[in-house]
């Protein structure tokens, strides 16, 4: 079956336009991988030797670099720690690092801070002093937590700093982490979410076009499998307040129609400033407020988050639903803010930050009945952080325990990107190995493949299987609702309506006093599903041999998309295609090959010396008649997105003609980058436009690049960046925070013709911001 035939049969057509601000995805130049180093080597320590006596023995005095290396070496191996040269060289060094750490008193660890900033100070202020804890070694603390019941552990939890909790999990095996996970629980107030024996679900109704029908029907779809009791949480494509408000209202309408206002909240995962703006304009429409957070002040700047901002918002969350945070190991590293210390400790500090916000909310209300929880998005970043199924399980277990020991309700997104070494079946294995630790909830989508974010996560069917395999339960209030909905019977067994989203839609319409017959509403429902699937959003209906199996036809489509993504990821931009581009300047990055590019993203951000010289020659050819715009073309993570017929050339031709109509001058030659990341485009801009001029002039780049594969469309994006020459002149000053992007471009999704219109409108806005007069076309 050809790609076009498959897309037509599967109904995969869709579109998206994405505006990004402040979203950095890759490691900074200061933290690039040194492949010449094999890791931290630690010899056998003396009996009862602790970290600080070892450092003094080796260095003669305290040494921060060696301290961070020992702490990092105590972790199970992950590529992200290796990038910072703090991972153990081998298992023996890891064992010795853990021995040193286990022999160290908690008081000494607290006195030697690996990195100090405002977040740490906030965590320290919120951590209770306990002499009993301070006098324990870390090994003794480990023995205590493993041997004592939940109530005894909870007595000391307020006295455990985030760094101590991070060090504690370093010493534990997976089995020991599971033992802690199985006995420490922090349920959300007035619910069973986060309780022992319960496993909830965040419905993740994502749409590549923010289409309300797509979003609403995925909720109906989830509830048809008795899944979805924690939050209805949509990742928006657009963070414009009007668009966010529209989605919030749609989700809230479903909730209120079924009288579930006190049972489950709605949430649109835009920036918290946008949610606050929407709430101000539409009081009562937002549910729980979301924000991605980091563990350091600098890393939080990536999310446009400050301590004062979050504390202020915490003081406003005095309703039943408070905060929903998302975190993930390695996010700080890939955002260029690793600060020299390991990913486990970074992650723990995020939970410490959220614990402070929770304390603020609790103090405001005078009691503890506001929902605050965290979702650990464990595998979303990619192989530069970790790449194997074993590492994904380890990360999930570490984070589950760290979250619980902070007193938080913690859920997981057990997920992987399509360029990790984790396939669809591996993800099932990961779920089975993590579930004994009993996290509070998982994500829930119609299939494992997110139709907008192009990554693998947990499907509705996974939740059904987990309930069967581990005997976990859904929050009581929602379980009663599912009985009322007639999805399950009084004994908890599936009814004839199980897996039938149209039945849930029928029930929804009846709450609206719809007078039509069952047959009429069912016919409308079938038409709705046909439209939704035509936009590339799958809807699960029925089941296979077991209640927890996808229908074979849908399962086949999911596997097709996975295999197509793998082929796309490893396909290289060939010389024939490059030569077909008119007047091109082909260059390469420092990626040695495609494998190096995929597994070490930072290598694809840096131009080779020869590439820099070629870009300089292009600049010199302008003879000081510097154009307004340079077009750059990169393969990105999917060269097929550019090479497929009807993709790049209709967009490129239309873009050039439209820009000229608006009076822009364009470079006569396009730069074509093999193994190029988005930041490679910024590097070109620095060389081309970073010359001092008086008065300062504005120049822009349009970087056309293949997107992460997975949707089947082979989409590409256009990153649009405009800055003054004085800004281009400052190394690494131009980044994602000032760029905008039109995404999802292909002949079967957001058509090149439509994308041209959006791209030109955005370019006009960006140049107008710098005072350029734009001709009205």
Residue 774: predicted pLDDT: 60
* Whole-number Å distance between alpha carbons of 716 and 175: 43
Q: Which two tokens stand for residue 206?
A: 């994502």
Q: Collect contacts of 213-216 with beta carbons under 8 A, ≥24 apart.
A: 213/528, 213/531, 213/532, 214/532, 214/535, 214/537, 215/247, 215/250, 215/251, 216/250, 216/251, 216/254
Low-confidence residues of the chain: pLDDT under 70? 1-37, 367-368, 694, 771-777
Report the SS3 class of residue 449.
strand
Please give the pLDDT value at position 430.
Answer: 97
pLDDT of amino acid 35: 30
Look at residue 773 in the predicted model and tell me its pLDDT. 61
The CA distance from 509 to 517, in Å, is: 11
CATH topology of domain 178-184+197-560: TIM Barrel (3.20.20)
Cα first-last separation, the chain: 43
| Residues 733, 727: Cα–Cα separation, whole Å | 6
Spans of all domains in the chain: 3-26+571-768, 31-177, 178-184+197-560
Spatial contact of 500 and 225, defined as CB atoms under 8 Å apart: no
- Residue 295 has what pLDDT? 96
Topology classification of domain 3-26+571-768: Rossmann fold (3.40.50)
Within 8 A by CB and 6+ apart from 547, the residues are 464, 468, 494, 498, 499
């Amino acid at each position: 079956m050809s790609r076009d035939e498959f897309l037509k049969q599967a109904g995969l057509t869709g579109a998206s336009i994405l505006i990004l601000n402040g979203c950095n995805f890759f490691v900074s130049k200061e933290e690039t991988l040194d492949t010449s180093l094999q890791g931290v080597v630690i010899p056998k320590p003396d009996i009862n030797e602790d970290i600080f006596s070892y450092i003094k023995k080796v260095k003669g005095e305290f040494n921060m670099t060696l301290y961070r290396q020992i702490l990092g070496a105590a972790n199970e191996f992950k590529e992200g720690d290796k990038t910072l040269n703090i991972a153990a060289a081998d298992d023996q060094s890891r064992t010795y690092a853990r021995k040193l750490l286990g022999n160290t008193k908690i008081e000494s660890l607290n006195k030697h801070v690996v990195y100090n900033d405002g977040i740490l100070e906030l965590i320290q202020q919120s951590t209770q002093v306990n002499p009993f804890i301070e006098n324990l070694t870390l090994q003794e603390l480990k023995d205590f937590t493993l041997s004592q019941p939940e109530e005894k552990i909870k007595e000391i939890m307020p006295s455990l700093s985030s760094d101590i909790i991070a060090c504690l999990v370093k010493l534990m095996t997976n089995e020991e982490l599971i033992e802690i996970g199985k006995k420490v629980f922090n349920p959300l107030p007035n619910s069973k979410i986060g309780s022992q024996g319960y496993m909830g679900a965040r419905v993740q109704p994502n749409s590549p076009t923010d289409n309300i029908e797509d979003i609403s029907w995925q909720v109906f779809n989830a509830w048809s499998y008795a899944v979805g009791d924690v939050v209805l949480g949509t990742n928006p494509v657009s963070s414009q307040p009007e668009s966010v408000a529209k989605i919030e209202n749609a989700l809230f309408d479903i909730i209120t129609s079924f009288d579930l206002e006190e049972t489950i909240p709605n949430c649109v995962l835009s920036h918290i400033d946008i949610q606050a703006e929407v709430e101000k304009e539409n009081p009562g429409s937002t549910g729980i407020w979301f924000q991605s957070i980091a563990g350091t002040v600098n890393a939080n700047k990536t999310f446009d988050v400050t301590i004062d901002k979050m504390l202020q918002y915490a003081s406003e969350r005095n309703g039943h639903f408070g905060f929903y945070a998302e975190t993930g190991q390695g996010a700080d590293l890939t955002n260029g803010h690793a600060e020299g210390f390991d990913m486990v400790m970074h992650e723990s500090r995020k939970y410490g930050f959220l614990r402070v916000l929770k304390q603020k909310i609790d103090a405001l209300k005078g009691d503890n009945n506001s929902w605050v929880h965290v979702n650990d998005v464990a595998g979303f970043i990619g192989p530069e952080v970790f790449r194997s199924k074993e590492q994904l399980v380890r990360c999930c277990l570490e984070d589950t325990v760290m979250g619980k020991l902070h007193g938080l309700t913690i859920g997981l997104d057990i997920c992987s990107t399509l360029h990790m070494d984790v396939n669809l079946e591996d993800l099932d294995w990961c779920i089975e190995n993590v579930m004994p630790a009993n996290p509070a909830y998982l994500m829930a989508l119609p299939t494992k493949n997110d139709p907008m974010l192009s990554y693998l996560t947990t499907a509705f069917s996974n939740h059904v299987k987990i309930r069967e395999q581990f005997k976990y339960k859904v929050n009581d209030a929602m379980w009663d609702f599912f009985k009322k909905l007639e999805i399950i019977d009084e004994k908890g067994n599936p009814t004839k309506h199980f897996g039938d989203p149209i039945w849930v839609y029928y029930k929804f319409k009846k709450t609206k006093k719809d007078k039509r017959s069952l047959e009429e509403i069912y016919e409308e429902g079938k038409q709705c599903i046909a439209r939704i699937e035509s936009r590339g959003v799958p809807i699960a209906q029925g089941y296979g041999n077991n209640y927890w199996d996808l229908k074979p036809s849908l399962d086949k489509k999911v596997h097709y998309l996975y295999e197509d993504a793998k082929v796309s990821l490893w396909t290289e931009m060939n010389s024939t295609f490059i030569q077909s581009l008119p007047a091109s300047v082909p260059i390469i990055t420092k990626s040695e090959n495609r494998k190096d590019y995929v597994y070490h993203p930072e290598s694809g951000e840096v131009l080779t010396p020869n590439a820099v010289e070629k870009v300089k020659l292009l600049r010199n050819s302008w003879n000081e008649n510097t154009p307004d715009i340079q077009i750059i073309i990169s393969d990105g993570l999917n060269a097929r997105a550019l090479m497929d017929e009807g993709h790049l050339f209709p967009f490129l031709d239309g873009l050039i003609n439209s820009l000229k109509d608006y009076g822009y001058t364009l470079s006569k030659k396009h730069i074509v980058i093999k193994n190029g990341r988005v930041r490679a485009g910024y590097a070109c801009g620095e060389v081309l436009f970073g010359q001092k001029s008086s008065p300062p002039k504005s120049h822009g780049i349009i970087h056309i690049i293949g997107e992460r594969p997975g949707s089947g469309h082979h989409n590409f994006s256009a990153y649009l960046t405009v800055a003054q020459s004085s800004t281009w002149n400052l190394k690494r000053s131009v980044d994602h925070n000032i760029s905008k992007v039109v995404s999802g471009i292909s002949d079967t999704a957001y058509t090149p013709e439509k994308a041209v219109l959006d791209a030109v409108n955005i370019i006009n806005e960006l140049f107008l911001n710098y005072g350029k007069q734009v001709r009205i076309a």
